[in-house]
Amino acid sequence: MANKAIFFDRDDTLIEDPGYINNPDQVKLLEGVPEALIELKAMGYKLVIASNQSGVARGIVTEDVLGQIHKRLEELLGEKGASIDGIYYCPYHPDGVIPKYRRTSEMRKPSPGMLLEAAKDMEIDLNESWAVGNGPGDIEAGSRAGCRTILLESRGHEQKVQPGRIVPDYRAVNLKEVINIIKMHARGRKPTVEAAPVVEPKPQTVEELKPPVLPRGEPEPPPQAAAKQEAAKKNDEEPTTNQLLKDILDQLKLAHRTSMFGEFYINRFVAGIVQGLVFLCLFLSVYFLLGPAGRLNAVLISLGFAILFQLMAMTFYIMQGPK
């Protein structure tokens, strides 16, 4: 009897995708992955990873390290009681920098080579199987192999299939929804929208059907006028959200202008002059130190004045701060 399987893409489907993973420590399971795999295996499915790994051809990761990465993935799943039945990957790419892997390959998605090889190795009935991934290549490979397909729109990013590409059979936002789709398909039905209950109108009494009696001398306003009066009254009672936002924005602009063009403090001006004297004293100390006479006393005096002026400048800066 042939087996049925779920073919998963790896990155951003089962584990986080920081780019090209080239270290086992980078492997992090996405939320809910172990629980979903356990449930799918209990439904009788083989679980297979089919992943393009052009990083090998690009020289970013070796096949040995890739094996360590997949071993780490299986270890993390095993800690949660989950497991994978097979991992298939394609290391080839026509633009690779490693000559051994620089070529086209039927194993590389959107070609169905990996799925066909797994089906042969594990006696899988592809017509009873599913392909799940977050990219158009995953969907096309699954469809060409004869599987039903689910496009995983993970992390709130809607995946748009380009014109001319194969359209997925279903779309899901996470693996929990993937499981629900597979279960409903197995039951031979699609999700239905429950109709809203019909509420019978309550019969009105004769008193309720009578028009309201207005005080004498006040004519009944027409419906349009009444609606306008109600809207005007509402506008008078509370400002609109747009008006409130406009007022807040005006206040922020005013505060910004005030901070930009505030009072010019005299202390700041004096502090700037004193700071200039500091640099002058430092220059003189260097001049006396490097001079032919080597006037040590003059150097010490210049440094003393530099320290004094620096303290004065700091004092003036502190004094000119906001009151």
Q: What is the pLDDT of residues 239-272, one digit of tens each?
A: 456 666 666 666 665 554 444 434 445 777 777 7
List the strands of the sheet with 86-90, edge to edge: 86-90, 45-52, 4-8, 130-133, 148-152, 170-172
Residues 80, 171, 174: CA angle, nearest 5 degrees: 25
pLDDT at 47: 98
List all residues 6 or more positions away from 280 whose beta carbon is below 8 Å from its beta carbon. none
pLDDT category, 312, cuts 50, 70, 90? confident
37-67, pLDDT tens digit by residue?
999 999 999 999 999 999 999 999 999 999 9
Of the chain, the percentage scoring pLDDT greater than 90 comes to: 51
Token pair 């469809």 is found at 143
195 pLDDT band, cuts 50/70/90, is very low
CA distances, 192 to each of 116, 176, 184, 189 (Å): 34, 18, 11, 9
β-pair partners for 49: 8, 87
> Which H helix or E strand runs over 46?
strand 45-52
Residues 6+ apart with CB under 8 A from 115: 7, 48, 50, 126, 131, 141, 142, 145, 147
Please name the residues in contact with 10: beta carbons below 8 A apart, sequence gap of 6 or more: 49, 51, 73, 89
What is the mean predicted confidence (pLDDT) over 9-32?
Answer: 95
Are 50 and 118 within 8 A, CB to CB?
A: yes
Given a contact cutoff of 8 angstroms between Cβ atoms, the answer to whether 88 and 124 are in contact is: no
Secondary structure of 152-204 as H, E, C letters: ECHHHCCCCCCCCCCCCCEEECCHHHHHHHHHHHHCCCCCCCCCCCCCCCCCC
Q: Hey, how many other C-beta atoms are within 10 angstroms of the C-beta on 268?
A: 14
Active-site residues, by number, are 9, 11
Question: Average pLDDT of the chain?
Answer: 80
Higher per-residue pLDDT: 219 or 172: 172
Specify the 3-state DSSP secondary structure of 84: coil
Q: Where are the alpha helices (DSSP H) in 26-158?
A: 33-42, 63-79, 113-122, 136-145
Cβ neighbors of 274 (< 8 A, separation 6 or more) are 309, 312, 313, 316
Beta bridge mates, 132: 8, 150
CATH of 4-186, one of 1.10.10.60, 3.30.2010.30, 3.40.50.150, 3.40.50.1000: 3.40.50.1000
* Closest of 289, 288, 286, 280 to residue 308, by C-alpha: 280
Return the amino acid letter for 282: L
Largest pairwise CA distance in the chain:
120
Residues 279-302 pLDDT 10s = 888 877 777 777 766 677 777 887
Domain coordinates in residue numbering, the chain: 4-186, 241-323
Tally of residues, the chain: 323
149 DSSP assignment: E
Is the separation of the CB atoms in 152 and 172 below 8 Å? yes
Structure tokens at 241: 């959200």
- Measure CA of the first residue to CA of the last residue in the chain; give whole Å: 86
Joined together, the tokens standing for residue 181 give 């789709």
